[in-house]
């Protein structure tokens, strides 16, 4: 579907350009998983071990005696940890659903056909035997199930595993907050003599990794300094390494993200792929170094991501919709996003907010559209003389073009004046498309009646059909600069646009429809009161 939508949007933009520029460039020629039950905490024991380069310290727990799960519930999510590897086995968002019926919550991580070491917060080392123990051994646990609330806003659990033979192991401490998706994680290596890795988790609930999409990105993403690195899954043949000032690394899809944000300097990011559906991202930490992270597994809400202060909001794509990240489009979309939020706070309806944005954009472009309308009217008035020139210089194209330029100059008409203002509006259209198609704030947001999700297509195609009719009326009112035969051919454009828009987000179709209606009103007022012929 994404690949088809990409081709459709490209076709729309090209069609707009053809519709606008044609008369001037070519003058007329002639189910969720079951909840695992948590068992009672295992009795722990204390033993003393000496981390490399550190003083002897007390470490709780050596090796667990049975596998068990620990459930953490907050207002935002339900997480299930397992002491087998001390990892996250299940992560379910309580405020986001698979569809608008709100029956099944979104599950970011769930039991699947991946190794334990590929679950979030798995620790890996170069020592094969120790690595196997850390990723599939049974950790002892401090703490039990947590049910956080406003009255009980904070809690923690600690997993510890120490090999009784070598004295090597790992301690993992997690702290949770009821009012946040953020989890504070602290990894303490015990007598580990080399570098170690911490996993962000594989697959992230994604079964198809295709990159054929217009906006957004699905796959591993890392911010190094100010450079956002997106690793296209199809091109991962061997391990990829990213080094430098690592701000965060994540696996993301269109609306959700699982990110590890290191609080201290780390060595590198390692991205690998063991199968087409198993993409693995790890952070490598220096030998013996205690590592502190913030784990965020939740929606790509702009405000929440911005609050981290590490550029995690850059994971939301406000850029160009094909290949490039065009900064002007990005800034345009961000500005429109802030405006959309303002109007939403006033109306509590994103559909109404889109209508308000359309009106603002229309007002901003009033001078340009008036200029465009005037230019097209002027060229329409010159059509008889243009036809005479075409007849006179029918065998000399160069002389025809020269004579037409002289004609335009004499009458002070800009042949591109009708199309250039419209072309300048394309960044707004593209910015709005990126905004409406890619921000989670509009996901499953209703407008009215049958429009229950502004981020997907109109299920009954009512808006696209009305939009096509409005476009036809607008085109009939627009001054024609082509001969009658060509004008009839151009009437196919509203039909084509209607077809293109059938699968566009209904929010975008609503914008285009309201824009057409406002344009029709402006053309009527302009013709009646300001440019009579």
CATH number at residue 290: 2.70.98.90
CB atoms under 10 Å from CB of 10, counted, come to 14
Helix H or strand E segment including 127: none
C-alpha span between 23 and 196 (Å, rounded): 65
C-alpha span between 519 and 473 (Å, rounded): 10
C-alpha span between 393 and 397 (Å, rounded): 7
- Whether 447 contacts 510, CB under 8 Å: yes
pLDDT confidence of residue 37: 39
C-alpha span between 318 and 307 (Å, rounded): 18
Residue 38 lies in a domain: no
In this structure, the strands spanning 240-243 and 46-49 are unpaired
The predicted-structure confidence for 466-490, as pLDDT tens digits, reads as follows: 999 999 898 888 766 556 666 677 7
Task: State whether 217 and 343 are in the same domain.
Answer: no
Half-sphere exposure of 104 (CA within 13 A, CB side): 9
- Whether 211 contacts 285, CB under 8 Å: no
pLDDT confidence of residue 35: 40
Domain-ending residue, one of 280, 315, 350: 315
* Domain assignment of residue 144, given as a range: 46-315
Give DSSP secondary structure letters for 45-101: -EEEE--TTS--EEEE-S--SS--EEEEE-SSEEEEEETBTTEEEEEEEEEEESSTT
Which residues are CB-contacts of 294 (< 8 A; sequence separation ≥ 6)? 182, 183, 184, 185, 260, 261, 263, 308
Residue 242 lies in a domain: yes
- What is the side-by-side strand order in the sheet with 240-243? 123-125, 196-199, 278-285, 268-275, 240-243
Domain-ending residue, one of 290, 315, 340: 315
Task: State whether 491 and 517 are in the same domain.
Answer: yes
Task: State whether 216 and 326 are in the same domain.
Answer: no
Residue 36 lies in a domain: no
pLDDT confidence of residue 51: 42
Residue 500 lies in a domain: yes
pLDDT confidence of residue 529: 75
The predicted-structure confidence for 271-300, as pLDDT tens digits, reads as follows: 998 776 678 899 999 987 899 999 999 999
Residue 37 lies in a domain: no
Task: State whether 334 and 264 are in the same domain.
Answer: no
Which residues are CB-contacts of 121 (< 8 A; sequence separation ≥ 6)? 86, 87, 88, 172, 174, 185, 187, 198, 199, 201, 295
Residue labelled with tokens 């075409």: 390
Task: State whether 301 and 398 are in the same domain.
Answer: no
Q: Which residues pair with 294 in a beta bridge?
A: 184, 261
Which residues are CB-contacts of 464 (< 8 A; sequence separation ≥ 6)? 458, 498, 501, 502, 504, 509
Q: With left for phi above 0 and alpha for psi between -120 and 50, is residue 167 left, alpha or beta?
A: left
pLDDT confidence of residue 409: 82
- Whether 170 contacts 121, CB under 8 Å: no
Task: State whether 24 and 114 are in the same domain.
Answer: no
Residue 41 lies in a domain: no
pLDDT tens, residue order, the chain (533 aa):
455 555 555 655 566 555 555 444 445 444 444 444 333 333 334 444 444 433 334 444 446 678 899 999 999 999 999 999 999 999 999 999 888 877 788 888 766 545 545 789 999 999 989 999 998 899 999 999 999 999 999 999 999 999 988 899 999 999 999 999 999 999 999 998 789 999 987 766 665 555 445 556 788 999 999 999 999 888 888 899 999 999 999 998 888 999 999 999 999 999 998 776 678 899 999 987 899 999 999 999 999 999 999 999 999 877 654 434 445 566 777 888 889 999 999 999 999 999 999 999 888 888 877 777 777 777 777 878 888 888 888 888 888 888 888 888 888 777 766 666 667 777 777 777 778 777 888 888 899 889 999 988 899 999 999 999 999 898 888 766 556 666 677 778 888 889 988 988 898 899 989 989 998 988 888 877 776 55
Residue 374 lies in a domain: yes
Give DSSP secondary structure letters for 204-267: TT-S------SSS--EEEEEETTEEEE--GGG--S-EEEESSEEEEEEE-SSEEEEEEESS---
Task: State whether 265 and 409 are in the same domain.
Answer: no
pLDDT confidence of residue 432: 77
Task: State whether 306 and 367 are in the same domain.
Answer: no
Task: State whether 231 and 307 are in the same domain.
Answer: yes
pLDDT confidence of residue 481: 57
Task: State whether 251 and 388 are in the same domain.
Answer: no
Domain-ending residue, one of 315, 342, 360: 315
Residue 35 lies in a domain: no
Task: State whether 247 and 329 are in the same domain.
Answer: no
Q: Which residues pair with 222 in a beta bridge?
A: 229, 249
Tally of domains within the chain: 2
pLDDT confidence of residue 382: 80
Task: State whether 200 and 335 are in the same domain.
Answer: no
């Amino acid at each position: 579907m994404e690949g088809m939508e990409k081709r459709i949007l490209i076709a729309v933009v090209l069609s707009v350009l053809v519709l606008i520029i044609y008369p001037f460039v070519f003058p007329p020629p002639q189910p969720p998983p079951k909840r695992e039950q948590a068992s009672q905490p295992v009795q722990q024991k204390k033993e003393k071990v000496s981390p490399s380069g550190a003083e002897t310290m007390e470490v709780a727990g050596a090796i667990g005696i049975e596998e068990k799960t620990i459930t953490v519930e907050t207002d935002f999510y339900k997480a299930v940890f397992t002491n087998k590897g001390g990892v996250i086995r299940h992560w379910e968002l309580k405020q986001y659903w698979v569809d608008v019926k709100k029956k099944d919550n979104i599950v970011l991580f769930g039991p699947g056909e991946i190794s334990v070491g590929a679950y979030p917060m798995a620790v890996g080392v170069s020592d094969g035997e120790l690595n196997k123990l850390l990723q599939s051994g049974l950790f002892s646990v401090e703490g039990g199930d947590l049910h956080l609330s406003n009255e009980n806003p904070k809690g923690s659990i600690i997993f510890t595993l120490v090999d009784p033979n070598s004295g090597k192991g790992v301690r993992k401490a997690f702290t949770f907050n009821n009012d946040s998706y953020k989890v504070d994680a602290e990894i303490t290596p015990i007598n580990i003599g080399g570098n170690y890795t911490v996993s962000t988790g594989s697959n992230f609930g994604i079964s198809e990794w295709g990159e054929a999409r217009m906006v957004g990105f699905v796959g591993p993403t890392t911010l190094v300094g100010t450079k956002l690195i997106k690793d296209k899954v199809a091109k991962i043949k061997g391990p990829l390494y990213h080094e430098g000032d690592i701000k965060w690394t994540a696996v993301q899809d269109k609306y959700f993200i699982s990110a590890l944000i290191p609080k201290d300097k780390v060595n590198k990011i390692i991205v690998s792929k063991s199968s087409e559906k198993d993409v693995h991202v790890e952070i490598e930490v220096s030998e013996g170094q205690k590592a502190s992270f913030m784990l965020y597994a939740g929606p790509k809400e702009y405000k929440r991501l911005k609050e981290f202060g590490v550029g995690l909001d850059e994971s939301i794509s406000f850029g160009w919709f094909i290949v490039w990240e065009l900064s002007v489009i990005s800034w345009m979309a961000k500005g429109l996003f802030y405006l959309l939020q303002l109007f939403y706070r006033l109306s509590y309806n994103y559909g109404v907010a889109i209508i308000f944005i359309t009106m603002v954009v229309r007002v901003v472009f009033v001078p340009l559209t008036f200029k465009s309308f005037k230019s097209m009217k002027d060229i329409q008035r010159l059509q008889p003389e243009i036809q005479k020139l075409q007849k006179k210089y029918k065998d000399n194209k160069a002389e025809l073009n020269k004579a037409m330029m002289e004609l335009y100059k004499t009458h002070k008409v800009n042949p591109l004046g009708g199309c250039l203002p419209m072309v300048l509006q394309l960044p707004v259209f593209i910015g709005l498309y990126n905004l409406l198609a890619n921000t989670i704030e509009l996901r499953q947001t209703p407008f009215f009646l049958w429009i229950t999700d502004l981020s997907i297509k109109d299920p009954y195609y009512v808006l696209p059909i009305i939009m096509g009719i409005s476009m036809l009326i607008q085109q009939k009112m627009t001054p024609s600069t082509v001969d009658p035969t060509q004008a009839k051919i151009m009437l196919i454009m509203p039909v084509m646009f209607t077809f293109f828009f059938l699968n566009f987000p209904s929010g975008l179709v609503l914008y285009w429809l309201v824009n057409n209606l406002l344009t029709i009103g402006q053309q009527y007022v302009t013709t009646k009161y300001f440019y009579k012929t």
